[in-house]
Amino acid sequence: MKKTLFVILALAAGAMTAAAQLVTVTGTRVLVDSCAYFPQLNADGTQLLYSNTEASVLSLKDLTTGQVRTVADQGLPGFDARFGPDGKIYYVTQQLGKGNRVYRAAHVYDPATGQSRQLLKPQHGAVQVIATAKGVAIEGEHASYVSTDDIGLYAYTRGSKLYLSDGKGVSVTSPAGECAGYLWASVSNARMMFEAAGKGLYVCDLQGEVKHRLPSASMPVWLDYDRIIAMTNTNFGAQKDKGTYLYVTTLGGEVQRLTDPEEHAVQPMVAGNKLVYVADGGMVKEATLQWSKTDLTLISYAALVPKFEKKQLDQKADDAVRVFINPGHGGHDSNDRPTPYYCHATGEETAYYESDSNFKKGLSLKRILESKGYEVGISRYENKTEDDLDLFEISALSNHSGADMFLAIHSNATGIERKLNFPLALHRGWNGQPCVEGSDSIARCIMRHLEGNHTTVWTHPSRIYGDWTFYPNWGYKTGLGVLRYNKLPGMLSEGSFHDYLAERRRLNNDEFCWLEGWNFSLAIDEYFGRKGTCATGVVAGRVIDLSTDSPYEGYKFGLDNWQARNDVTLYLEDMTGERLVSARTDGMDNGFYLFRDVKPGRYRVVCDADQDDHPEVVREVYVRPNASTYCNFSY
């Protein structure tokens, strides 16, 4: 690769190995009392930019006069806005367009005139604002913008790729390999920093070669050349718990805590020697930092800056629909709510972990959607402890993915003696008043398709709630952490209740989880108006023995009053009686079977119990494309 000469600020040789100096925090003051998030200071520290809880209003406060004015209040402008070095404010709005796709536009607001103008017209996909010392870059997938030709180097991320640009060309690397995605990229002299979800905080050179790897952190920002301020991602985004704090770390791993965990400090931003952050309840605070700055020497040398390739911007607006999936939890840990049960068929206690079934549903949905032509992001590819990302990190991955909708996949538990089973949808906001347009429409589509699953037993109809309404005791507009900062149309699905024991037996069946993923896909097709995405359908059902009561007391509704049949073979035949494919129920007391990829038409399903007292039973079914057909056997 060609090497280019750059003149940059570099550490003097003797300072490279110097021990970290303690940072002193002084002069803390409150800038906003409550409900303010993602604060940004301008260059001279006289103006504060912040968002409200829902990202629906972007506000500017003059710290000299105390005057507050609205910068923007349409299209969810909050959370991603930045000051440029020119004192102007750059921000992104979004709107639903054709086929419920999300289109994002970029704007600039001039505090001197109080006027806004559009810089980039609405485009499908991700749009990011990146501020540098010289200007502002706005990176969209179909069009981009730079405020000055001499903008310097800047970094940004998409998926598991790290981009380095000078505003004209770009180089692309993946220093941490594949993961759920990279976040919070920035450049400091000859170093790039970013967080790799589930892996940690990375610092690499401009070629993408990793030089330092630190523990996971959220929203890291450079303090100086070899110091980083970040927030712990433990508990941040949790529904009710406190414990997140800010800290400073050197690249050598020396760490000093800057705030008390009881303060629940999050979202740090540094401007000069000023640190602003959000404390509990959305209180914005400013602190003055004092530290022994590392001596810098201006030297010239051949920095390993890669040769930039010309940016390839896709001018098409009508590209693939994108979905971001979050299979809830991760790893067999305490928050996974393990709920074992005694299996009468095996005579053994059987483990059930919610993270397992969530992951099976999510991965199945990803593969199904990709086969239908969607682009799909997912928050985890395995079920390990490190895959259980912080809820805020999941929201950040979702927001930066350029996706058109977000779906968190879970199962539920009553927490009471009386056991129930029904699908539940939760979106951000009040009942009937979602914070993000389209979220209630997604919820209605998904609940309709989940409720149509006749291989389970529903004790009640499906329900849809805003999370602020559903969790009133958590505090005003607290709600679910994974939805709190998520700007995508979306929801959290509690697909069924895993403490309803008969359902837990079904959730331990991989094919039953696949069926939920399939039904999610049908709902997503409906929401985006893409019903003709698959030429085949599925046939699913259960086999129930009406002569034997269910051994699971207290969980008896509908067909769950009787024993499910284990190890039963079923055949799918054409109408001439030719057997096309077979399926078999497992030995886990659920009686579930599934035929995938069935061409449209009329078929016979043959249930062969392989026992003298249970002869063959035949049912006729009609299979439609991109649809579920149900055929239960109870005899």
Mean pLDDT per 10-residue interval, the chain, length 635 residues: 33 34 87 96 96 96 97 96 96 96 98 97 96 95 94 95 94 96 93 95 94 94 92 76 89 92 94 94 95 60 70 64 95 78 84 94 98 96 89 95 97 79 97 96 98 96 97 91 95 95 94 98 97 93 93 80 94 96 95 98 89 79 98 94
- Tokens (6 digits) for 347: 């005579």
CA within 13 Å, CB half, 605: 27
- The angle formed by the CA atoms of residues 149, 155 and 156, to the nearest 5 degrees, is 115
3-state secondary structure of 482: helix
In this structure, are residues 395 and 237 in contact, taking their beta carbons and an 8 Å threshold?
A: yes
Express each pLDDT in 259-296 by its tens digit. 999 999 999 999 999 999 999 989 999 999 998 876 65
For domain 4-14+37-305, say whether CATH 2.120.10.60 is its number: yes
Written as one letter, the residue type at 487 is K
How many other C-beta atoms lie within 10 A of the C-beta of residue 105? 20
Per-residue pLDDT, 622: 98
Written as one letter, the residue type at 186 is S
CATH code for the part of the protein at 535-635: 2.60.40.10
Biggest CA-to-CA distance, the chain: 90
Domain boundaries, the chain: 4-14+37-305, 323-533, 535-635
Per-residue pLDDT, 4: 33
Per-residue pLDDT, 6: 32
State how far the Cα of 244 lies from the Cα of 234, in Å rounded to an integer: 6
- 82-83/592-598 β-pairing: unpaired
Torsion angle defined by CA atoms of residues 148, 149, 153 and 158, in that order, rounded to the nearest 10 degrees: 80
| Closest C-alpha among 607, 311, 329, 631 to residue 481 | 329
Looking at the domain 323-533, which fold is it?
Aminopeptidase (3.40.630)
| Closest C-alpha among 70, 34, 93, 80 to residue 436 | 93
How many other C-beta atoms lie within 10 A of the C-beta of residue 295? 10
Going from the C-alpha of 92 to that of each of 109, 439, 604, the distances in angstroms are: 11, 20, 55
Per-residue pLDDT, 184: 97
State how far the Cα of 461 lies from the Cα of 585, in Å rounded to an integer: 27
Overall size of the chain counted in residues: 635
State how far the Cα of 531 lies from the Cα of 510, in Å rounded to an integer: 25
CA within 13 Å, CB half, 307: 3
Going from the C-alpha of 121 to that of each of 56, 109, 110, 177, the distances in angstroms are: 19, 15, 18, 33
3-state secondary structure of 103: strand
Q: pTM of the prediction?
A: 0.93
Looking at residue 311, the DSSP 8-state letter turns out to be P
State how far the Cα of 240 lies from the Cα of 615, in Å rounded to an integer: 56
In this structure, are residues 332 and 358 in contact, taking their beta carbons and an 8 Å threshold?
A: no
3-state secondary structure of 448: helix
